Homo-oligomer: A and B are copies of this chain.
Amino acid sequence: MNINEKEQQFKTYLAEIDYYREALMLIHWDMRTKIPNKGVEQRSEVAGFLGEKIHQLQTSNQMEEFIGELKHRSEDPILVKTLEVCEEELERNKQIPHPLYKEFMITQTKAEAIWQQAREDADFNLFQPYLKKLVDYNRDFASYWGYEDNIYDALLHKFEPGVTVETLDHVFPDLRKSLLSLLEKVQASAVKPDPSLVQFHFPKQDQASFTEQLLKQMGYDFQSGRLDETVHPFAITLSLSDVRLTTRYDEKDFRMAVFGTIHEGGHGLYEQNIDPRLVRTPLATGASMGIHESQSLLWENFIARSYPFWQKNYDLFLRYAPHTFQNVELEAFYQAINEVKPSFIRIEADELTYPLHIMIRYELEKALINKEITVEDLPHLWNEKMKDYLGIVPSTDREGVLQDIHWAGGDFGYFPSYALGYMYAAQIHHTLSQTLDVENLVQTGDLTPIKDWLGKSIHQYGKMKKPLEILTDVTKESLNPDYLIQYLQKKYGAIYQF
């Protein structure tokens, strides 16, 4: 068989994996938005079956053969990169003995159900034995995968290839210091935004209509996506031509849905604008969790929480929410949606305190994986760090160590991506602002040039580039937390007058 025929065979093989993936993603979307209660049990079996099929195809002898035969012969850059990604995936999976992986999967499924109960009851003891096992599995996996300096690097690599403990320990302390100093200034300020100004009743349907207008302004394509309601908001890619968003509504506080949807819209815009030549390859997705988060945060914080954005959209907002907000001046509104106030729940945190929530998690999971602390220590260490970083202590573990699903999902090494994404966003936003008159574009509602610049600089590549490669290609600089600090300093200095 000549190389062209082999390449063709490989593409067909990849397409098959992607057919399973697309079907599975539809099941995931449906299970979180539409499925009737009693349908869940049988649908879970179907999801398990399709997931297993994908895993089999990714780790088969056939896959190994394709890689062996094409690796140094293919010249098509998309295929070259695809082979690289497939090989990495294969290697990672091959190194874990199958029985161990299966045990992990069973434990993980149980752990997630137990965690939900534990969170509801604010009972860490219930969750503790499962968490312990999940930490052990992750340590085992990390050992199988291997690492140079720190065992935690092997886990980080899964979510943010190229980023290590060294990177994080280099940037986080300075960032922390700067954030705490800003927080002190905020707390000492005489300016006190009044969030009650924006906590009026705003019917769900009107929030949805308003948010759809904002998504359209961003350039999110409703011909290639849709917006539904869910309990835990997410964006999901069925195909590059069907990238769906979900949100949840609080009729007493529109901020949840509006900023949440724009956040997911940032993820959606990324995937909708990946080069269609990558379709049916594993490259047709974002470069990493961190780069993905940079896109959602860039739209949510740097654009949608900015003053020019509301200069443009406040009238529209008032049209969708008549009678209730009419007496609120734009200035007071802007302050209210940007109130800085230490709080317990990560996903409800303001722009300034958010990274501190991430650092707490990073420090704890790094120490756990390195056996410097034990699972039993977690609740009190969590509370100590909350006191230390944010000056507040949760009254129950429900508002503390039990709040996030990640650990119950068996994911360690994931949290740093959130903070990395935020720093990437600031750095990318800085470059963007030097290229385009962002303030003016946002103020006039002309967001197309921004969308196009992000598409050209980042989105189109999908997984063709590594995350740090994208960052340096776009910003001509390696990771630099100063941009985030400068952004926060400038924005909150103006709001809180320091």
Q: A19-B49, A30-B30, A50-B19 are in contact. Are A43 and B239 (CB under 8 A)?
A: yes
- A224 contacts which chain B residues (CB < 8 A)? 36-39
Q: Is the interface of A mostly helix, strand, loop or mixed?
A: helix
State whether the Cβ of A279 lies closer than 8 Å to any Cβ in chain B. Answer: yes
CA gap between A50 and B222 in the complex, in Å: 27
Most-contacted residue by chain B among A30, A42, A224 (CB, 10 A): A42
CA gap between A84 and B284 in the complex, in Å: 45
Q: In residues 30-88 of chain A, which contact B (Cβ within 8 Å)?
A: 30, 34-39, 41-43, 45-46, 49-50
Q: A30-B30, A36-B222, A224-B36 are in contact. Are A241 and B42 (CB under 8 A)?
A: yes
- A45 contacts which chain B residues (CB < 8 A)? 15, 19
Chain B: minimal CB distance from A159 (Å): 27
Residues of A within 8 A of B (CB): 15-16, 19, 22-23, 26-27, 30, 34-39, 41-43, 45-46, 49-50, 221-226, 238-242, 279
CA gap between A242 and B15 in the complex, in Å: 29
CA gap between A22 and B50 in the complex, in Å: 11
CA gap between A39 and B15 in the complex, in Å: 16
**A-B pairs with lowest CB-CB distance, top 8:** A39-B242, A38-B241, A42-B239, A19-B49, A38-B224, A23-B23, A19-B46, A39-B241
Identity of the chain B residue whose Cβ is nearest the Cβ of A24 in the assembled complex: B23
A238 touches B43 (CB 8 A): yes
Cβ contacts A to B, 27 pairs, < 8 Å: A16-B49, A19-B46, A19-B49, A19-B50, A22-B46, A23-B23, A23-B26, A23-B50, A26-B27, A34-B34, A36-B222, A36-B223, A36-B224, A36-B226, A36-B241, A37-B224, A38-B221, A38-B223, A38-B241, A39-B238, A39-B239, A41-B241, A42-B239, A42-B241, A43-B238, A43-B239, A43-B242
B36 touches A23 (CB 8 A): no
- A38 contacts which chain B residues (CB < 8 A)? 221, 223-224, 241-242
CA gap between A30 and B41 in the complex, in Å: 20
Identity of the chain B residue whose Cβ is nearest the Cβ of A279 in the assembled complex: B42
- A39 contacts which chain B residues (CB < 8 A)? 224, 238-239, 241-242
- A43 contacts which chain B residues (CB < 8 A)? 22, 238-239, 242
- A242 contacts which chain B residues (CB < 8 A)? 35-36, 38-39, 42-43
